[in-house]
Amino acid sequence: MLENNTISLRAPELEDLDLLYIWENEPSIWQVSGTLTPFSRYVLKQYLENAGKDIYQVKQLRLIIQLKNNHRPIGAVDLFDFEPHHRRAGIGILIADPSDRRKGYARETLETMTSYCFDVLHLHQVYCNISAGNGASIKLFEEAGFEECGRKKEWLFNGSTYEDELLYQIVNKSA
């Protein structure tokens, strides 16, 4: 199991179905995830039944973030667009409940996953896409050593205006 000081990261289980149903169908999260339609329990159950497949096979990995002290799930971390040939992947982090945010859980998750990507998967780089208005995520990734390397102008539509999307990456100099 991947873990840090206060969090551990584990594979999703069928018992997480109700939690994933809530998270994936929360409209406030859709703006960040790019989701436009709700997920059914059936679709999420199918996903969970296949969640144990190898990252090299499905090109993505989702792990549940849980607190070490009480094993309470607080969010998820995704590796996506996994490219083993180019040795890179995208990363996204969700701390679902606003009351769990700004407590260092995302930072510890990012540190743990970056180490996993570099030390276990031997990736050369990890990247993320962040809306220009998401100051908390920008700060999180910059403090973790990610650097802004691109800007997509008016890339995201938030219902009334367009917003730029920033591309951040961290490069493993030893890979």
Residues 6+ apart with CB under 8 A from 19: 73
Task: Please count the other Cβ atoms lying within 10 Å of the Cβ belonging to residue 173.
Answer: 7
Whole-angstrom Cα distance, residue 113 to residue 91? 9
Whole-angstrom Cα distance, residue 74 to residue 97? 7
In one letter, which amino acid is 33? Answer: S
Residue 77 phi/psi, 5-degree rounding, is -125, 135
Kindly report which listed range (32-36, 76-80, 90-94, 142-146) carries the lowest average pLDDT score: 32-36
- Enumerate the β-bridge partners of residue 92: 78
64 has pLDDT over 80: yes
Helices (H), 34-167: 41-49, 55-58, 105-115, 135-143
Quote the number of domains for the chain.
1
Domain assignment of residue 47, given as a range: 2-171
- Enumerate the β-bridge partners of residue 78: 62, 92
* CATH classification at residue 112: 3.40.630.30
Please tell me whether the overall predicted TM-score, pTM, comes out greater than 0.75 for this model: yes
Beta strands 125-131 and 88-95, pairing class? parallel
Over residues 130-164, the pLDDT tens digits come to: 999 999 999 999 999 999 999 999 999 888 999 99
Over residues 15-55, the pLDDT tens digits come to: 999 999 988 888 777 767 777 778 888 888 888 888 888 89
What's the order of all strands across the beta sheet hosting 2-3?
2-3, 7-10, 61-67, 73-83, 88-95, 125-131, 162-171, 147-157
